[in-house]
Chains A and B, each alone.
Chain A
Amino acid sequence: QQQVKQSPQSLIVQKGGISIINCAYENTAFDYFPWYQQFPGKGPALLIAIRPDVSEKKEGRFTISFNKSAKQFSLHIMDSQPGDSATYFCAARSLNDYKLSFGAGTTVTVRA
């Protein structure tokens, strides 16, 4: 049973557009929410992360929005570029055992 539900499974966006990926969770013991980016044939790499005491975090073209009361968080990729084409995983870390639970992943394709 997946503890972090991620949607959509895939999305296609035009170059310069905005990509939005959503994640939801139920476990109130989660205290840290990272996003990982994975290119084909490679391992994931940490992209950006947020803690629940902050509602938004921005790094370059990537922004995490966090809604603690709704137990939801999302990744926005502004001005999407072909090089952003990858699979994105949201995750959540439990305060109880520090293990990460990953979402199912979203494959983003940016068309030039």
Chain B
Amino acid sequence: DGGITQSPKYLFRKEGQNVTLSCEQNLNHDAMYWYRQDPGQGLRLIYYSQIVNDFQKGDIAEGYSVSREKKESFPLTVTSAQKNPTAFYLCATGGRDRGAEKLFFGSGTQLSVL
């Protein structure tokens, strides 16, 4: 919340379709993260980026792609290769390396399959 804007709040995906979730921040944080939240499974890291034009895979990157062309933006694309995309997606920001002790989260995007 606060300086992190995720859109849309709700998104529906058709079979075989790629969809993109937006995450914009005005906190001037270097690091940005995408987490997936499923009931009873906590938050699982999809991708993260500590600097512009660089990003790393998290624990469940398969079927997802990201880009980091600007410090303020870190969009997540859920591709048709992700067979179980229904989940609550959270974007977060923080400092780099040891500075990433406090993560700030957006309000999330609920993705559902039609």
A60 at the B interface (CB under 8 A): no
A-to-B contact residues, CB < 8 Å = 2, 4, 6, 9, 32, 34, 36, 41-46, 49, 89, 93, 98-100, 102-105
Whether A98 lies near B40 (C-beta < 8 A) is: no
B-to-A contact residues, CB < 8 Å = 1, 4, 35, 40-45, 48, 58, 90, 92, 97-98, 100-103, 105-108
Whether B40 lies near A99 (C-beta < 8 A) is: no
Known contacts A43-B92, A43-B108; A104/B1 CB under 8 A: no
**CB within 8 A of B40: which of A4, A32, A93, A104?**
A104
In the bound assembly, the distance between CA atoms of A49 and B94 in angstroms comes to 15
B-side contacts of A89, CB under 8 Å? 42-43
A-side contacts of B41, CB under 8 Å? 2, 104
Q: How many A-B residue pairs have CB under 8 A?
A: 55
Nearest B residue to A104, CB-CB: B42
B-side contacts of A42, CB under 8 Å? 1, 107-108
**7 A-B pairs (CB sep. < 8 Å):** A32-B101, A43-B106, A49-B102, A89-B43, A99-B58, A103-B42, A105-B40
Nearest B residue to A6, CB-CB: B42
B-side contacts of A103, CB under 8 Å? 42
Whether B97 lies near A102 (C-beta < 8 A) is: no
In the bound assembly, the distance between CA atoms of A46 and B104 in angstroms comes to 8
Whether A46 lies near B40 (C-beta < 8 A) is: no
CB of A6, distance to nearest CB on chain B (Å) = 7
Q: A43-B90, A99-B45 are in contact. List 15 more A-B contacts (CB 8 A).
A: A34-B102, A41-B107, A43-B1, A43-B92, A43-B107, A44-B105, A46-B103, A49-B101, A89-B42, A93-B100, A100-B100, A102-B42, A102-B44, A104-B40, A104-B41
In the bound assembly, the distance between CA atoms of A46 and B92 in angstroms comes to 12
In the bound assembly, the distance between CA atoms of A104 and B42 in angstroms comes to 4
A-side contacts of B105, CB under 8 Å? 43-45
